[in-house]
């Protein structure tokens, strides 16, 4: 979006911050800046967009590798920085992952170095979620066997863009802020 640039915290600094290279003194200045630069989120989106190899418009970053993007022909989907798409953002993206499960103490010990810190194998399992496109590890969770994959983030994008950023999304609809995760296994069941 085009508006007057607030350069008190310049975009180049944001880029360095995203890359983990911004000097700590500058980070503190950015945190303490009052009032905050009013276009910080937009500059942040630009920085993110310039770092990915695809053109779909980023609406929100939801983890190190994952973004909710607006598709050209309509739709809001979760997309990995490698380009792999997980589909509608209202469905937990974990359902589209390669999953590795650690159930025994031996398997857990491979990733938990301190023995006392290892989970109880008879109570819980460790799940690791990987992108099918680039095999980046996208998330982990420690849950009882059979527990549904935790849906980490279902943002209310319309409220965020309309009420917080003052720029409503063009495809605003009450239908967006709904968890549709259970529809995916229902489809699998139909497919047999």
Q: How far is the CB of 54 from Zn ion (least distance, A)?
A: 11
Measured from the CB atom, the residue of 84 and 90 that comes closer to Zn ion is 84
Nearer to Zn ion, 133 or 149 (CB): 133
Measure the CA–CA gap between 3 and 71, rounded to whole angstroms: 24
Name which of 13 and 84 has its Cβ closer to Zn ion. 84
Cα angle, residue 94 at apex, residues 118 and 18 outer, rounded to 5°: 85
Minimum gap (Å) between residue 91 Cβ and Zn ion: 17
Which residues are 68's β-sheet partners? Answer: 60, 78
Contact 52, 65 (CB under 8 A): no
Q: Examine residue 69 and tell whether it contacts Zn ion (CB under 5 A).
A: no
Instruction: List Cα–Cα distances, 83 to 11, 55, 108, in angstroms.
Output: 24, 10, 31
Site for Zn ion (CB under 5 A): which residue of 70, 82, 95, 105? 82
Instruction: Tell which one of 11, 84, 102, 127 touches Zn ion (CB under 5 A).
Output: 84
What's the burial of 57, exposed, middle or buried (CB within 10 Å: 0-12/13-18/19+)?
Answer: middle
Determine if 134 is a binding residue for Zn ion (CB under 5 A): yes
Sign of CA dihedral 159, 50, 76, 62: negative
Contact segment (CB under 5 A) with Zn ion among 96-104, 115-123, 134-142, 153-161 equals 134-142
Q: How far is the CB of 51 from Zn ion (least distance, A)?
A: 14
- State the DSSP H helix or E strand holding residue 128, giving kind and residue range, or none if neither: strand 125-130
Least separation, in Å, of the C-beta of 130 and Zn ion?
8
Q: Which is nearer to Zn ion, 131 or 154 (CB)?
A: 131
Cα 81 from Cα 50, distance rounded (Å) = 11
97 binds Zn ion (CB under 5 A): no
Residue closer to Zn ion, measured from CB, 14 or 92? 92
80 forms part of the interface with Zn ion (CB under 5 A): yes
Nearer to Zn ion, 111 or 134 (CB): 134
Strands lying side by side in the sheet with 125-130 = 98-102, 125-130, 137-143
Residues within the interface to Zn ion (CB under 5 A): 80, 82, 84, 131, 133-134
């Amino acid at each position: 979006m085009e508006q007057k640039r607030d350069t008190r915290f310049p975009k180049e600094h944001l880029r360095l911050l995203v890359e983990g290279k911004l000097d700590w003194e500058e980070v503190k200045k950015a945190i303490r800046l009052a009032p905050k630069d009013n276009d910080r989120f937009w500059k942040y989106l630009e920085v993110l967009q310039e770092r990915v190899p695809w053109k779909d418009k980023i609406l929100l970053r939801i983890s190190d590798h994952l973004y909710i993007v607006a598709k050209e022909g309509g739709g809001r989907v979760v997309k990995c920085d490698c380009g792999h798409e997980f589909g509608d953002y209202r469905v937990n993206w974990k359902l589209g992952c390669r999953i590795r499960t650690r159930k025994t103490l031996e398997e857990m010990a491979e990733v938990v170095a301190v023995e006392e810190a290892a989970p109880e194998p008879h109570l819980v399992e460790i799940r690791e979620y990987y992108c099918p496109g680039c095999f980046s590890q996208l998330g982990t969770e420690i849950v009882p066997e059979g527990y549904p994959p935790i849906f980490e983030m279902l943002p209310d994008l319309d409220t965020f863009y309309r009420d917080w950023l003052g720029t409503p999304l063009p495809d605003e609809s009450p239908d967006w802020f709904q968890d549709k995760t259970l529809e995916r296994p229902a489809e699998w069941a139909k497919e047999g």
